[in-house]
Structure 1
Amino acid sequence: MPSELSIMIEQDLARLESVSPSGFALAFHIRFTTPAFLFQTYDRAWLDIYSQEGLVMSDPIVGFGFSHDGTGWVRWSDLADSDPAGVLARSAEYGLRFGVAVVIDDGGSRSVAGHARHDREYTDDEIGQIVEIVTRLHRNTQSDQDLSSDALAELKRMSVILTHPDRKSD
């Protein structure tokens, strides 16, 4: 049976899905280059290309995530000058035409998120809602020590289902 914390996390992920109609990618508590938790709902074909071509190394969203101190956000359209590899233009071919990048850095842990739409820019109110949810998810997944083994297993299950919807959790 999922814990109360797992239910809250699942509800927040569902909220993000509803405000990110073309998907999202959430990398929580990145240490070196590896997140403790990764949730992705972008188009599978885009995720495959992104992974196969190692686009993370030239992704301006990731660049913003590692260059920004504290909590902040930027619309993808404002990252055009920092995208010489054309990652955002390529992502638009898969319905990720407009988006917002969010970074949470509380001094001890960093999380980076990208949220996409196909139809229009995000409004400031929508961005505020996304930042609030991502911040809450960052805090709720902050420390493995604060999460029970059941909660950790549930987070892994949710990550697999969101990132690989065609797979059952293992």
Structure 2
Amino acid sequence: MSERKVVNQLLDALDQLAPMGYSVGLHIRYASPLVYKSSYPAEWRDFYNSHSYYLRDPLVFWGVGVEGTTRWSAIPLPDPFSVMAKAASHGLKFGAVSSYGPITSRSIVGVARADREFDDAELAALREITIRLHIEAKPPNELTRAQIEALQCLADGDRHAAAAGKLGISESALKARLVSARVRLEARTTSEAIRKAREYRLL
């Protein structure tokens, strides 16, 4: 089963778990996730983003600082901007957050509902989904210099012949580098490989 299909199945499981939606930030590096998805109500997402609450959200601070799973109500951090009260006013009254992975590549998943606290079994399910999402979405650690050069040429708009000439190799050698880069990145096309390499900050 492909990585994308597994990730989609895990997101479907989050949908079942969280009646008011979820927020997923996977492999957060340099304060930015490599993968981000939210199914929270659009009005809350727009309000949250327009106020840059990700810089002020106690759930994010907790997730970056602690690896584990807990209910929102159990987080002792201060909330000077009343992010949680504003979330509640948009229907996100109860929630849980799960954090997993090393501090240099942390994944944080939040879920919400309007009617009650998440029970212990639901917290355990959230933990399992978070761990599996982190593992399934793990980016490759590196590409070879030759693979990066080949992808960079095409990302810059060079055609195969021009890229091969620029690198001083044959077109067949260039294509071999591109194929190996696609395999490494689990990409079906060179365009997808370039997109993934950029997302993973390899280009």
The alignment's TM-score, normalised by the length of structure 2, stands at: 0.68
* Cα deviations by residue, 1:75-102 (Å, 9 ceiling, x for unpaired): 1112365212110110011111000011
Q: 5+ unaligned residues in a row in structure 1: which ranges?
A: 157-170
Residues 141 and 147 in structure 1, CA contact (< 8 A), matched pair in contact too:
no
* Cα deviations by residue, 1:48-67 (Å, 9 ceiling, x for unpaired): 11111111121110010111
In structure 1, what is the equivalent of residue 187 of structure 2?
149
- Please say which of residues 5-14 and 137-146 is displaced more in the overlay: 137-146
Higher relative contact order at CA 8 Å, sep ≥6: structure 1 or structure 2?
A: 1
Residue in structure 1 matching 2:84, options 88, 95, 98: 88
**Which structure: larger Rg?**
2
In structure 2, what is the equivalent of residue 50 of structure 1?
48
Residues 44 and 87 in structure 2, CA contact (< 8 A), matched pair in contact too:
yes
Residues 26 and 106 in structure 2, CA contact (< 8 A), matched pair in contact too:
yes
Residues 25 and 36 in structure 2, CA contact (< 8 A), matched pair in contact too:
yes
CA RMSD of aligned residues (A): 2.1
* Cα deviations by residue, 1:97-146 (Å, 9 ceiling, x for unpaired): 00001111236521111110111000011010011011001000011466
Residues 20 and 41 in structure 2, CA contact (< 8 A), matched pair in contact too:
yes
Residues 53 and 83 in structure 2, CA contact (< 8 A), matched pair in contact too:
yes
- Please say which of residues 22-31 and 77-86 is displaced more in the overlay: 77-86
In structure 1, what is the equivalent of residue 94 of structure 2?
98
* Cα deviations by residue, 1:23-56 (Å, 9 ceiling, x for unpaired): 1100000111110000100010111111111111
Residues 25 and 39 in structure 1, CA contact (< 8 A), matched pair in contact too:
yes
Q: 5+ unaligned residues in a row in structure 2: which ranges?
A: 142-183, 196-203
The alignment-based identity, stated in percent, is 31
Runs of 4+ that moved beyond 6 A: none
Q: Give runs of aligned pairs for residues 114-129 of structure 1, distance below 5 A.
A: 114-129=110-125
In structure 2, what is the equivalent of residue 165 of structure 1?
none
Q: Give runs of aligned pairs for residues 38-77 of structure 1, distance below 5 A.
A: 38-68=36-66, 71-77=67-73
Q: What is the CA distance between 1:6 and its match in structure 2?
A: 1.8
In structure 2, what is the equivalent of residue 112 of structure 1?
108
Q: How many residue pairs end up in the alignment?
A: 150
Please state if 1:137 is matched with 2:133. yes
**Distance change in 2, residues 1:96/1:147 (3 Å):** farther
Residues 75 and 99 in structure 1, CA contact (< 8 A), matched pair in contact too:
yes
In structure 2, what is the equivalent of residue 20 of structure 1?
18
In structure 1, what is the equivalent of residue 162 of structure 2?
none
- Please say which of residues 98-107 and 23-32 is displaced more in the overlay: 98-107
The alignment's TM-score, normalised by the length of structure 1, stands at: 0.80
What letter matches 1:119 in structure 2? Answer: D
